[in-house]
A and B are shown apart, each in its own frame.
Chain A
């Protein structure tokens, strides 16, 4: 991936220096706190987008950072640290959805059958983007967030869900179409009155 060296990286793409990593591996709490300050926001944001609840997102951040403090000894630096942490966050979010039995059937067809139907399309200035996202079925939301916002490829999604690439492509396209429908401004119904007849 091309990266402009002067570009300020945000979210999980933020770099972390080797000294902090080495200290964190030795169990240094100050280094753990530095990692938290760097990555807590992207981790919490990802969890909020997928789970839609602040309590659930806090649980995810807590789980991920507790796991990080143990697992960092095994981190060998093959992938960027942020990517490694993102993967942990995604796995924790999937686990949480599974534990709440919110991971929907594998078949994309019934996935959208029970998706919340708004009472008509929303006016463009009346929607809350997050609320709109939460109307999607959890698995569809997860795929949409990972692909569109976190840069996961369909190949990576296929590996993550143990499905084919066409599976995530199909769910993504349905999710986007559904969002488009919800965003379409309501068409004004014009009552056609009969042309007055000349008597």
Chain B
């Protein structure tokens, strides 16, 4: 006759005792839970404060120059820069060098023609870049009274 398959039942060990946890265990768990919640709140508060301080430091330390918003095209960026330079130059009282003004008008004329014939962005970009460079030079000249020398 085949032997019955071994199991705790066949060994008559299936009736293992059950155990009750000590009565004070729940109070300990509850206290540990409260301690953990308090610690988490402190950590969260600390992290919040650190974030506020970091943001304040960032705002204070960042240069005030306007930055181009993300996603703006290079052409629009050059146009915006050109506009700002133009305003700065207009605000300066010193007389501009005649050579510089002539150069600026030449670049502006080239830009106008390019727009008239529906030029591509690739063609417009260097012209705007050129206009900004001339304007920057004019601002520098007007600021310290030096002569504009372009090579």
List 18 A-B pairs, Cβ < 8 Å: A32-B30, A33-B30, A36-B26, A40-B25, A40-B26, A42-B18, A49-B16, A54-B19, A58-B21, A61-B25, A62-B28, A65-B29, A129-B17, A176-B6, A176-B7, A177-B6, A180-B6, A183-B11
- Complex Cα distance, B16 from A9, in Å, reads 18
A:37-77 near B, CB below 8 Å = 40-45, 48-49, 54, 57-58, 61-62, 65-66, 69
Out of A41, A66, A149, A177, which one reaches B20, CB within 8 Å?
A41
Q: Is the CB of B13 within 8 A of A57?
A: no
Could you say which residues of chain A place their CB within 8 Å of the CB of B47? none
Contacts of A58 in B (CB 8 A): 21-22, 25
A45 & B6 in contact (Cβ 8 Å cutoff): no
**B87-122 contacts to A (CB < 8 Å):** none
Given contacts A29-B30, A36-B29, A148-B7, contact A130 B17 (CB under 8 A): yes
Q: On chain B, which size bracket covers the interface?
A: 20 to 34
B151 at the interface (CB under 8 A from A): no
A41: chain B residues at CB < 8 Å are 18-21
Expressed in whole angstroms, the Cα–Cα distance for A122 and B22 within the complex equals 31
**Complex: A42 Cα to B21 Cα, angstroms:** 9
Complex-state Cα separation, A100 to B81, whole angstroms: 67
Alpha-carbon separation in the docked complex, A129 to B17 (Å): 8
Q: Bound state CA distance, A49 and B19, in angstroms?
A: 9
What residues make up the interface of B, taking CB atoms closer than 8 Å to A? 6-8, 11, 13-22, 25-26, 28-30, 32-33, 36
**Cβ of A180 and Cβ of B11 under 8 Å apart?**
yes
- A57 and B29 within 8 A (CB): no
Number of interface residues of A (CB under 8 A): 33
**Complex Cα spacing A44 to B22, Å:** 10
Q: With a CB–CB cut-off of 8 A, which chain A residues contact B7?
A: 148, 176
A-B contact count (CB 8 A): 74
B25 touches A149 (CB 8 A): no
Nearest B-chain residue to A58, judged by Cβ: B25
Main secondary structure of the interface of A (DSSP, over half): helix
In the complex the two chains form, what is the Cα distance from A48 to B21 in whole Å? 10
Q: Hey, which chain B residues are within 8 Å of A148, CB to CB?
A: 7-8, 14
Extra inter-chain contacts (10) besides given A36-B26, A40-B26, A62-B29, CB under 8 Å = A32-B30, A41-B21, A58-B22, A61-B21, A66-B33, A129-B13, A173-B6, A176-B6, A179-B8, A180-B11
Cα distance A174–B19 in the bound complex, in angstroms: 27
Residues of A within 8 Å of B15, CB to CB, are 129
**Closest approach, in angstroms, between the C-beta of A170 and any C-beta of chain B?**
13
Closest CB of chain A to B19's CB: distance in Å?
Answer: 5
CA distance A61 to B20 in the complex (A): 11
| Residue among B6, B21, B36 with the highest chain A CB neighbour number at 10 A | B21
Q: Does A88 touch B at the CB level, under 8 Å?
A: no
Determine the residue in chain A with the shortest Cβ distance to B32.
A66
| A-B pairs, 3 with minimum CB distance | A176-B6, A44-B21, A148-B8
Tell me how far the C-beta of A87 lies from the nearest C-beta in chain B, rounded to whole angstroms: 19
